[in-house]
Amino acid sequence: MTSLKTFDLTTDGGAAWTVRAVDGPVPDGLIDRPVAATVPGEVHTDLLAAGEIPDPFDGDNESKLHWIGRTRWSYRTTFSWAADGNDRQELVAEGLDTVATVTLNGQEIGRTANQHRSYRFDVTSVLVAGDNELVVEFEGPVAAAEAERAKVGSWPHTNLHPYNELRKMASNFGWDWGPDVATAGIWQPIRIESWSGVRIDAVRPLAGADGVLNTFVSLAWTDTASEYATVTVEVGGTTQTASVKPGWDTVVLTNTVPEVDLWWPRGHGEQPLYDVVVTLADDSWTGRVGFRDITVNVAPDNDGTPFVLSVNGKPIYVRGANWIPDDAFVTRLNAETYRTSIQDAVDAGMNLLRVWGGGIYESEDFYDVCDELGILVWQDFLFACAAYSEEEPLRSEVEAEARQAVTRLSKHASLAVWNGNNENIWGYVEWSWRVPLAGRPWGAGYYLDLLPKIVAELDPRTPYSAGSPYSFDQFIHPNDERHGTMHIWDVWNQVDYTTYRKYKPRFVSEFGFQGPPAWSTLTSVVHDAPLDPYGSQMLVHQKAFEGNLKLERGLGEHLPVWKDIDDWHWTTQLNQARAVAYGIEHFRSLFPLNTGAVVWQLNDNWPVVSWAAVDGHGIRKPLWYALKRVYADRLLTVQPRETELVVAAHNDTDNAWTTEVTVTRRSTARDGEVLARETFTLEVPARSARISELPQSVAVTSNPTSEYLEVRGADGSTAHWYFAEDTTLELVADAYSTSITKTDGGYDVTVTATALAKDLALFPDRLDRAARVDSCLITLSAGETHTFKVTGALAPSEVGVPVLRSANELLN
């Protein structure tokens, strides 16, 4: 006999929770006073909802709320439970953040110290019929991390707090783009499971391109269970059944789906998904799989070490972005917010997101959307920019969390890479850790031994990489451009973005450049008067080391230093977009030597000046539009080679690309006189690149500051080349005229150029926070027209600088 009943203890399930500050640097009147709480949730959002604290994102509130991370918090609920005849009752906590003591009816039933795993406590002898009281008391996370450091020793880390002492999301303690809002709470569902006999403990359905699904079902039995259990797996019209002897903990069932439809990343095919249903008496499990094979080829070649991701045997050029937790308060995220943010990647032409190691093992919602939309996921294990103890108690926590994460996520069709850590191997090699480490282990045992073994055991169909960056050889510098994955951070931190062209990287898994969020996003939280990059609230929302300095130095010869705050905003947004696009055009021009670019970073977790393409309010920055252009399936770009100029064309589609290309050398002056013109037929086979040398007639000029190249494919593909940086380019100040017409729900803003108009951009959110526009960074030659489609309110008389911008007026 098997029976399983679930008793939901979340707020959604009807349980009423409170949270109370137990002790710590708590403001007057709050100590010991219960406040209504949401479960799953976290203390910051509870205090915010109760009106006990102001918005942590606003102004300079962040530092005023640091006491929360040093306070002990107690979550409490009471519930009535009726005996149901089952033998065993267990409290299942899917996620507790982080150092907690769990007490039921006054009796301690467990202690936890890992946000990244779930817990199951036997409460059979503690639960009573009638009223029960459940209390989960959390240590202040900052205090707990410091206490752990005092106890077991210090390991090198970046940023302020010793986040690497605890298994808790690193960026919750603050990062160079994120607020320090170290929090506590019951961040995942919590329930009581009451059962007899046998139940399903975990399911790992691993599907391959051969149509075979191997489903590993773990079972849990009570001591008295004596009857065989029947496990059934159904998928794609096939059914397999096994009869399992009491006490057996794992059974594997193999279903073969005939004529299976393969899952592909977007741009390479469809994303068929198959429901898997596992049943065992009245317990069941459902999930979805996609049938596909994924490999990463890192076998040395004559150029070094490639990093080629292949799906179903077909190499994939990776056009990706790094993903950080999508809200500093992750419990506010849901299926809808994930879908919106992942759509930002899809609409920009991306096919991969890298879930960065300072965040979380992403949610089912995240992976479900990626499975459906064909976005490959590279999941880091949660180690970032630090050394980590390999001793107890951390070691066992790492193993437990890794086993759970791999078990939970291995089913997803989109899961493409497990990666050991973010920059820790690089850190060991270059960041002066060896003196403070004094010979102690620092995490290599996880990345090179424990984690690959766990992946090989539980998810052998998914490739493993020891770190990012990594050269796939212990004796080669982990960030060597010739080998494996590379992070390019000298651009932004030290050198001009033209340095991107000095590299010939096999695969770039991080590179990026900062810019401010949308004006409406910025001014909703920064209230300095007057607004200034160095204003006190602005500096709260610029976390990067010497960030303002790097924004200014990053202008190089490209753009002039701003005259006022409006120009600051536009100039730095524009420079960010150009810098990253410059890098990607170069990387793609190296195909097939280069096999991927993963930009830092797609998203933000609050309103901030950062590397993100989409800001904390979900507004697409100019960078996002630049990414959409350079991540197009077919990219046309002009690149310098040794001594000549070439047109580099990368055709990342399954069809040959044939088009007439016209290259015109024109004047930047009014009417844009045509000085030379050449036409050639571009033929690029499927998934290939072609380099075409440009004829001297167009490639050479004796007037670099007043001429440019316009490259147009008959199929609409476009590229431009400038012989001089904007700071010396002779751009006409009033290079366009504007006309505005009302549409359903918005306006059409049509711009007509009378001379070269560079990087036209419209920012309707400056007039109406809710207004959005469909395009950005449009370059027009004299006579050309572009219509910006705006949804939202607009006062036509206000559509001028700073709402409508181009590079032209920055220079005049």
Measured CA distances, 393 to 170, 180, 389, 398, 605 (Å): 18, 25, 9, 9, 30
Smallest CA-to-CA distance from 165 within 220, 93, 114 is with 114
Q: Please report whether residue 600 would count as binding ligand BMA according to CB under 6 A.
A: yes
Interaxial angle between packed helices 565-589 and 622-630, expressed in degrees from 0 to 180 and rounded to the nearest 10: 20
| Cβ proximity to ligand BMA, 477 vs 720, nearer residue | 477
| Cβ proximity to ligand BMA, 576 vs 668, nearer residue | 576
Q: Torsion-angle region of residue 349: left (phi > 0), alpha (psi -120 to 50) or beta? A: left
Distance CA 373, CA 578 (A): 28
- Write out the binding residues for ligand BMA, residues 605-624 only, by CB under 6 A: 611
Q: Which of 423, 528, 604, 765 binds ligand BMA (CB under 6 A)?
A: 423
CB 525, min distance to ligand BMA, A: 20
CB 143, min distance to ligand BMA, A: 24
Contact 273, 259 (CB under 8 A): no
CB 424, min distance to ligand BMA, A: 10
Q: Please name the residues in contact with 125: beta carbons below 8 A apart, sequence gap of 6 or more.
A: none
Q: Please report whether residue 490 would count as binding ligand BMA according to CB under 6 A.
A: no
| Phi and psi angles of residue 759, each rounded to the nearest 5 degrees, phi first | 55, 55
| Cβ proximity to ligand BMA, 40 vs 469, nearer residue | 469
CB 360, min distance to ligand BMA, A: 15
Contact 587, 689 (CB under 8 A): no
Helix/strand number for the chain, H first, E second: 17, 42
| Cβ proximity to ligand BMA, 134 vs 417, nearer residue | 417
Distance CA 758, CA 780 (A): 7
| Cβ proximity to ligand BMA, 296 vs 385, nearer residue | 385
Q: Please report whether residue 385 would count as binding ligand BMA according to CB under 6 A.
A: yes
| Cβ proximity to ligand BMA, 421 vs 651, nearer residue | 421
CB 423, min distance to ligand BMA, A: 5
Q: Which residues of 403-421 are buried (b: 16+ CB within 10 A; e: fewer)?
A: ebbbbbbbbbbbbbbbbbb
**x/- map, 281-320, ligand BMA, by CB under 6 A:** ----------------------------------------
| Cβ proximity to ligand BMA, 407 vs 548, nearer residue | 548
* H helix or E strand, kind and range, residue 599: strand 596-599
3-state helix, strand and coil shares in percent for the chain, rounded to the nearest 5: 20, 35, 45
Q: For residue 195, how many other CB atoms are within 10 A of its CB?
A: 21
CB 680, min distance to ligand BMA, A: 41
| Cβ proximity to ligand BMA, 461 vs 553, nearer residue | 553
Contact 206, 411 (CB under 8 A): yes
| Cβ proximity to ligand BMA, 421 vs 521, nearer residue | 421
Contact 270, 264 (CB under 8 A): yes
CB 422, min distance to ligand BMA, A: 5
CB 805, min distance to ligand BMA, A: 27
Distance CA 186, CA 18 (A): 12
Q: Are strands 314-316 and 318-323 parallel, antiparallel or unpaired?
A: unpaired
Q: Where does residue 286 rank: exposed (0-12), middle (13-18), buried (19+ CB within 10 A)? A: exposed
CB 487, min distance to ligand BMA, A: 6
Residues binding ligand BMA: number (CB under 6 A): 9
DSSP state of 260: P
| Cβ proximity to ligand BMA, 145 vs 244, nearer residue | 145
Smallest CA-to-CA distance from 244 within 217, 224, 214, 271 is with 217
Tell me if the bond preceding 469 is cis, omega within 30° of 0: yes
| Cβ proximity to ligand BMA, 374 vs 583, nearer residue | 583
| Cβ proximity to ligand BMA, 477 vs 769, nearer residue | 477
Q: Torsion-angle region of residue 332: left (phi > 0), alpha (psi -120 to 50) or beta? A: alpha
Question: In the structure encoding, which two tokens stand for residue 36, read together?
Answer: 């209504």
| Cβ proximity to ligand BMA, 194 vs 422, nearer residue | 422
Q: Which amino acid is at 523?
A: T
CA torsion sign for 137, 142, 145, 147 is: negative
In the block, tokens 């990087």 appear at 759
Contact 288, 371 (CB under 8 A): yes
Distance CA 618, CA 605 (A): 10
CB 545, min distance to ligand BMA, A: 8
| Cβ proximity to ligand BMA, 175 vs 721, nearer residue | 175
**x/- map, 162-191, ligand BMA, by CB under 6 A:** -------------xxx--------------
Beta-bridge partner residues of 741: 748
CB 492, min distance to ligand BMA, A: 8
| Cβ proximity to ligand BMA, 62 vs 423, nearer residue | 423
Q: Contact positions toward ligand BMA, by CB under 6 A?
A: 175-177, 385, 422-423, 510, 600, 611
